[in-house]
Structure 1
Amino acid sequence: MLTKRSKVLEESITLAIATLANELKAKGEDIISLSTGEPDFDTPKAIKDAAIAAIEKGCGKYTAVAGLNEILKAIQAKLKKDNNLDYEISEIITNVGAKHSLFECIECLIEEEDEVIIPTPYWVSYPEMVKFAGGKPVFIEGLESNGFKITAEQLKNSITNKTKMLILNSPSNPVGSIYSKKELSELAKVLEGTNIMVLSDEIYEKLRYDDFDFTAFASISEDALKRTVTINGLSKCGAMPGWRFGYMASKNKDLISAVKRLQGQSTSNICSIAQYAAIPALNGACDEDIKTMCQIFEKRRNLALSILDKIPNISVYKPEGAFYLFINIQKVEKDSMKFCQKLLEQEKVAVVPGIGFGMDGYFRLSYATSNELIIKGLERISRFILNYK
């Protein structure tokens, strides 16, 4: 007998597509997967060396729920150095990936009928987490003409007396757009005088191109700092997806205490070895690795855009960050699920339908793969679109 809340959850479409692609590959199918939301680079050596050293020293014991003092200090220093944010150690907690950070935060803040504003297109798990907590997702469409970002006016018009939270993701998944400091300041101004919390998902923070600046929402003002939960991790920027290292920081100590209690009764501390491994990444030992990764991603982005530009009846926003392209196929097919299923069946290319991100008539393509596979995959997509029926 399942609970009502467990029945409201939809399967993660990104994970479902990746699983299907892997199953078809295992059967011998010539599948090109452009769906994966993880870097294809190996974890930097400094991180692996720190993990090996921790294992050899016998550091596989339980830690405090929030994390080792050393890792909390490393996060504190990172937030100050990179984002000019001052947090006390007691205002930080590590989690099992940034997804876990988001889930625990939403569970501790959202109750029945609370409204949570989510810009579209959104990362697939945001509305599901809100629904599981009993809340109501309220979607604001980010227009393609505005880089799929919402405006202060849209935000103002969506706030009601039930609004409890705004979820922001910059750089964003699935688009890769980044809110400028001016845009964030305008959004922050709208929230002044309200009790609305902001979940700022900054997991792609260091994957930026064309020298585009990044601004943490909490750094906008003292008011923004007080209402923001800063969420980050190393799955993307540190090429550590399977290590499951995430963290959150908030001036709301009641929230951090509640998250500690929830985590203490569920996962307890996150993997102790992952904590030790993350310290050099947070302290800057992998900055050159991240820089190199960004440069390669930028070249791949440019390669993919140059090929897509030659395909008729589609359009694509040029992303400032992350490693995705969100492709408009409305002139070809408005049903993104139908399009992506046929693409996988006929051309053996796996991409993610836009409906999973709240915007039909689009699909998400990941360029976190080799140039060879990008070229080969886009050649198949081009052929598929040209002959689409």
Structure 2
Amino acid sequence: MATLTNPPTPTLSINTKLRDLALVEFQVSESTPCENVVRRLEDDSSLSGVIVLDERSQVRGMLTRRAILEWMLSKPYGLDVFLKRPISSMVEFHSRDFLLLPGDCDVIQAADRAFQRPEETIYDPVVVQLGSQDYRLLDVPVLLVAQAQVHLATQRKLQEQQEEMIRILAELEQEKNRSLQYARDLERQKAEILNQNLALDMERRRAQQRSEELARLNARIIEISSILSEKGKSTFAATFAGVEAVRTLFQEIADNNQELSRELKEINTIVDLIVEVAGYIRLLSFNAAVEANRSGGAGGFGAIAQEIRKLAGRTTEASNRIRGLAERIQRQSQSTLQSAQSSAEVVQSLYQQAQSAQLALEELQTLLERAQI
């Protein structure tokens, strides 16, 4: 039986090599008797030929089954004699050109080479060299099946690639649509950014205008504040002087009221003395009247006593009027003193407020000097 070096591959690809196919191992040396070869061919009908090697184990020739059978039929007489001869004798007379290909040759390339042979050798087996001294036979039907499988695999691959291309084209179309959408979005964003830039530019100009207005206003405020500071200093200086004068005047009024109170106390003392004298006069008048009645000289002495009583009455009346006047002066003096004290408190408050305002002006002046620096 022929020996298959590789079982048939169920699925082949475009990169399948000859070494991957079902190859037949049947090679003999050139000294092998023809009858051995014929017997092997008769025993194994699947053998399509035999490879004959020379003494260096290189291919000398290849004999097909058909060539061997034709040679045997051409020798009806003396066949036994010829079968005893070495196979090399048959190669010399009946060997034809054969196709020798390396094992790493592609199936498609091998099929192209095989089918380009002459018509009389187109169906001969192909000799495949696997090593320096290792050769195999590749039958044409096996090569045809392999070629068909490779074409089918190639077609499937092309179909897969076509489907992949269609899918890629669809994805590219989607990407294109997304890119167009992105482009539209970018244009819209660009327009929005442009509008925002315009708005920002307008806002910047407004801010610059406001800044210029604030600068002018600040300069005006500084100018006015400087004027107010100078005017305020002089005004508060005059105010302090006036307030101080009012305080001095109120202090003098308070001192005068105190002096007036002392004088009124002195007047009250004098009034008390007059009242006491008037009492003595009335007592003297009473005693004089008693003595006049006792002595019987009521006429002249009584008149004197009567005048003394009148004098005592007027003295009492005068003392009462002086006392009333002193009391009224005392009340007015106390009222004036209270008013002066209230006014002094108001003036003191104004003085403190003026001091606070002066401090504020001094701080304002300091700020103005720093702003000018």
Instruction: Bin the TM-score by the shorter chain.
Output: under 0.3
More helix per residue: 2
- Please tell me whether Structure 1 or Structure 2 has the larger radius of gyration of its CA atoms: 2
Higher relative contact order (CA 8 A, sep 6+): 1
